[in-house]
Structure 1
């Protein structure tokens, strides 16, 4: 599982600036759950070949008793509980404050590994900017500038080393990963029927079923067989959680879900037909799309609904989840076991599509057909030339297109190519990514 880093500190110390630098994006997931504000952000980061999850929190007031600051404190406490390492950020220009000492007391009692980071240190000497923060008793401070990137890479690498050092050794799989079958992560909001669906799947023609607790985030993997095929369910229902649960409302761990999505081959997004599509549903679906995992959508509790209500739900999905046009939607009842067989067939198909082996000759022929049907638009006097294509990866399938002036290709033409490749190779249930690689112009004037 990916290590989790939480950014904590009082307001305006640079947490969001550091978050945006780590994730290289401002479009992070938002944990918009009942009882929580929208100030807890989740995103993915990477240093070299080492991926991680990072949580941005609002200004932390541990002793707040009511109002918005109390709500922000609740979600920050939850972020600390979910984290492997907490990065405690203070302001090097403002100096040590009583507020920093209060946060230090809370973090020391939390039992988490904490790294003290002095931000906004650009142009300042290490000794002068860190001297007063030794009073917090949290060891040698790390000095960075989140705005300029100074010291950020070293900070993250050391935090990842710390996260991995304190983890128990991974449990080896003696039979090999291929014997575990397709890994399916069942994700969705609380009370949409995830546990009911798991029980239904395990109860039908069950051959193998046993709990395999994870060693890091307490995720539960349940291998089973159905119709002679092997699968592994990754339960994200929050059966067990590490550490103290600070608030009763936390029935659903966003971190657990994000990690399970990354670990899976196919994600089954479960929606509740008796509720409207929420922002959280769309955020989870968006994260699946970003990670490139194959996806099948199950709309549960479909039985007993009137035809008018069913039409309303379909219109709501068309409007809010239109970016999932590549995925199959199934209307099921986990409780009554209706629609399960077609659902599993779509999971098989999505996995097969995600792992498709697309040969260079076939991809190039499909590319030529697409260009003959519709050429890319000119940019000035230059028209992009698409020459050949090959596969650059699986899960998701990546198509690498070579040619000239490909940086001039517009997004709508890229979407046209994606649709053409998807239809040509019947890639249903998996995202498809296209990468352009332009040849160097030998006649271009070289800079000296």
Structure 2
């Protein structure tokens, strides 16, 4: 960066006592902001410089934003926060995942929408992977990027940092350049999983099956080598997940990095293969990686590897355990493999192609709306604020995976349980059983109330 050139500025904003200062300290890797479990401790802006993946940027911790004047410092804090919002290039809006959306969160969200600046919602205090679903309700605030984190448990921070640097212009230029050089006639596949699950041996079994390795080509990340492979006329680019994460000044621990190294490959992939060790079943680490896949709406295949080490009854138990632990990834088919004995390799490649094609599937508008009408006849959505919820019309958006825009009367009234009910039934009725689908709700008549 040239002297005098403005550094990319990230402002951490939110109401008091949601963990803004704790997040600030985690991002810069030192205890600079005072952290206390009482509202209003941070009264002024605190600025520091940090970096991630070799990209430097400024981070600003702001005071807790409140709209009332019950605190004598409130008007001063509001003025400082509003000035920082104007100066920042990106806003990280911190909310409390345990408390859920509050009226003040909604007021702050409305203010941030008016700025038209990029906003990442960091849902803090999600200290257990099984509680990540609590973060879903924060999509109601109207922002596309919602990341569950725990500043105490150091969870989700790598994903948040990845999201931040994606907004930095120099980083974006690099990504665009890399994509221009990519050939578009192959399926990009990321093989991910915890250490020793058998990822490398599985890839070797795939490459050795037909021995038609086209070439070893340098990957888009300098520290990796991606592998191009062809079988029966279909090309695959297997993304190497080793060595992606560069060391940062922020010390997050070995386990944190093992998750972080998978993030970039998942982001780039058309299909993600999650490898589970049959002798261990789905572990907490596997749940974390599956969460990364699910939150990005990535087509996926779950591989239970090393099946030759188990008896038939033991294997049945493992399959059921994997389904139970990774219930949120229920659209991903399960393939049983033994890399050592080359069992299940052909089926895996077939499933990769199948889920890839499902992710590109287009659904007619008439078919979509008939399906929604049929689903609602099975189970009406619960009432909201004493009024029935209505779905007027739906249409599919461009791109992949399949995303459907639903015009409704009250978008905030559609809660997770009913949204999942819609998703699961739409998959069945539209032939998208193995595709991640995204439902976007848009209210039509909030102004009338």
Give me the TM-score of the superposition, normalised by structure 2: 0.63
Spell out the pairing of 1:363-382 with structure 2 (5 A cutoff). Answer: 363-379=368-384, 381-382=386-387
Pair 1:151-2:84 in alignment: yes
Alpha-carbon deviation of 1:367? 1.3
Decide which of 327, 335, 343 is 1:338's aligned counterpart: 343
CA contact (8 A) 1:205 1:227 kept: no
Larger-gyration structure (1/2): 1
1:235 aligns with 2:240: yes
Question: Given the superposition, is the C-alpha separation of residues 393 and 427 from structure 1 closer, same or farther in structure 2, using an over 3 Å criterion?
Answer: same
Shift of 1:337: 1.0
1:164 aligns with 2:171: yes
Matched, 1:268 2:201: no
**CA 1:56–1:311: 2 relative to 1, 3 Å:** farther
Residues in 2 aligned to 1:251 and 1:414: alpha-carbon distance in whole angstroms: 31
Q: Secondary structure at the match of 1:418?
A: helix
Contact preservation (8 Å) 2:190, 2:239: yes
Q: Is the 8 A contact 1:186 1:236 kept in 2?
A: yes
Deviations 1:265-298 (A, max 9, x none): 1000001112242211000001100011001000
Match 1:207 to one of 203, 212, 216:
212
Q: 1:18 to 1:395 in 2, by over 3 A?
A: farther
Distance 1:385 1:248 in 2: 47
SS at match of 2:392: strand
Is the alpha carbon distance of 1:217 and 1:374 closer, same or farther for their aligned partners in structure 2, counting shifts above 3 Å? same
Equivalent in the alignment of 2:262: 257
1:166-200 deviation digits (Å, cap 9, x = unpaired):
979945755x5322x11110001111111111112
Report what 1:45 is aligned to: none
1:17 aligns with 2:50: no
Pairing of 1:401-416 with structure 2 (within 5 A): 401-416=406-421
Structure 1 residues 306 and 427, CA, compared in 2 at 3 Å: closer, same or farther? same
Contact 1:390 1:401 in 2 (8 A): yes
- Which one is further off, 220-229 or 387-396? 387-396
Q: Cα gap change, 1:171/1:276 in structure 2, threshold over 3 Å: closer, same or farther?
A: closer
Instruction: Note the C-alpha offset of 1:389.
Output: 1.2
Match of 1:90 among 32, 40, 47: 32
- State the partner residue of 2:184: 178
RMSD between superposed Cα atoms in Å: 4.3
Matches within 5 A, 1:113-152: 119=61, 151=84
Structure 2: unaligned runs, 5 residues or longer: 1-7, 11-16, 36-47, 66-76, 92-163
Deviation readout 1:286-314 (Å, 9 max, x if unpaired): 11000110010001000131234223322
In the alignment, structure 1 residue 328 sits paired with structure 2 residue 262? no
User: For the structure 1 residues 388 and 120, does the alpha-carbon distance in structure 2 shift closer, same or farther, using more than 3 Å as the test?
Assistant: closer
Mapped to 1, the partners of 2:334 and 2:294 lie a distance apart of 15
For 2:39, the equivalent position in structure 1 comes to none
Structure 1 residues 336 and 121 mapped into 2: Cα distance closer, same or farther (>3 Å)? same
Q: Does structure 1 conserve the Cα–Cα contact (< 8 Å) formed by 2:259 and 2:289?
A: no
Aligned partners of 1:304, 1:92: CA distance in 2, in Å?
52
Deviation at 1:342, TM superposition (A): 1.5
Residues 19 and 330 of structure 1: is their aligned pair in 2 closer, same or farther, counting only changes over 3 Å? farther
CA distance in 2, matches of 1:375, 1:351: 32
Cα distance in 2 for partners of 1:169, 1:326 equals 30
- Is this contact kept in 2: 1:266–1:294, CA < 8 A? yes
Deviates further, 313-322 or 261-270:
313-322
Distance change (3 Å), C-alpha of 1:115 and 1:247: closer
In the alignment, structure 1 segments of 5+ residues that lack a partner are 8-13, 22-54, 58-85, 94-102, 124-143
Distance in 2 (CA, whole Å) between partners of 1:165 and 1:370 is: 41
Task: Flag the 1:326–1:168 CA change in 2: closer, same or farther, 3 A.
Answer: closer
SS at match of 1:203: helix
Secondary structure of the structure 1 residue equivalent to 2:322: helix
Contact kept in structure 2, 1:302 and 1:331, CA below 8 Å: yes
